[in-house]
Amino acid sequence: MRYSTQLSDAVHILAYIAVFSGTRDITSDILAASIETNPTNVRKIMGQLRQRGLIHTINGRPKPTLSRPVEAITLYDIFTSIQGETALIEVDEHTNPRCIIGANIQQALEKEYSRLQQSVEHEMKNITLADILRSISTSAIKSNAENTTLVESFL
């Protein structure tokens, strides 16, 4: 099974914009190098973030900005920008209806998965980009004290 890293990439892009906005140009090539992905993927994700109102961009200007304060952007906002209203986990609909388990597992799992979905969404709504930037900033300073001036506003 392959897992999507688009949520992580979207958080990465937003964090990068928050830290470096106003200090340097922020192009899809620069973001792609930081994420270790390709610029096309970055542009796709940025388009989704822009459509959902999390960032502002102007064509031809490498100066994206956040559309609201980092305290007002939740992990849920970012997730739904990338995934839409998709469930985090899905029930396998292709099971054998002639098997006692295969015929009944969808109903049992849908109930439990729905409960999990609600719980995870609630938690994601309580985690902000500010929380993530605080953690990034703490680690960045621990690894190199010279990072302090760049990230101290997020502590």
61-68 mean pLDDT: 95
Domains within the chain, CATH numbers bracketed: 6-86+128-154 (1.10.10.10)
pLDDT over 90, % of the chain: 86
135-146 mean pLDDT: 97
Model confidence pLDDT, tens digit, residues 90-116: 999 999 999 999 999 999 999 999 999
pLDDT for res 3: 65
- 2, pLDDT greater than 80: no
| Cβ(43)–Cβ(28) below 8 Å | yes
